[in-house]
Amino acid sequence: MLLDGDVPEEKKTKPTRTHWDMLMERRTREELEEVLAERLAVLRSGGMNLAVHPRDTRKSA
């Protein structure tokens, strides 16, 4: 508590930016939808490099 003093000014804070906010600063929604469609097509075609992203085919005990 302050006695006989000025109340310090509150520091201005920047609003929290989400991942979505940062994406929207760099791309339009149409561009993001196009990128998403391309990536989904790759995933659906099985075109991922399994050497980089191997699937664990072992059954859990």
What pLDDT was estimated at residue 6? 79
Hunting for tokens 């995933």 — which residue is that?
Answer: 43
How many of the other CB atoms lie within 10 Å of CB of 27? 13
Residue 61 is predicted with a pLDDT of 47
Residue that wins the pLDDT comparison between 56 and 25 = 25
Separation of alpha carbons 49 and 54, rounded Å: 8
- Residues 6+ positions from 27 with CB-CB distance below 8 Å: 35
For 7-48, how does the pLDDT look when each residue is reduced to its tens digit (9 = 90+)? 878 888 888 999 999 999 999 999 999 999 999 999 889 877
Instruction: State the sign of the Cα–Cα–Cα–Cα dihedral 45, 49, 51, 54.
Output: negative
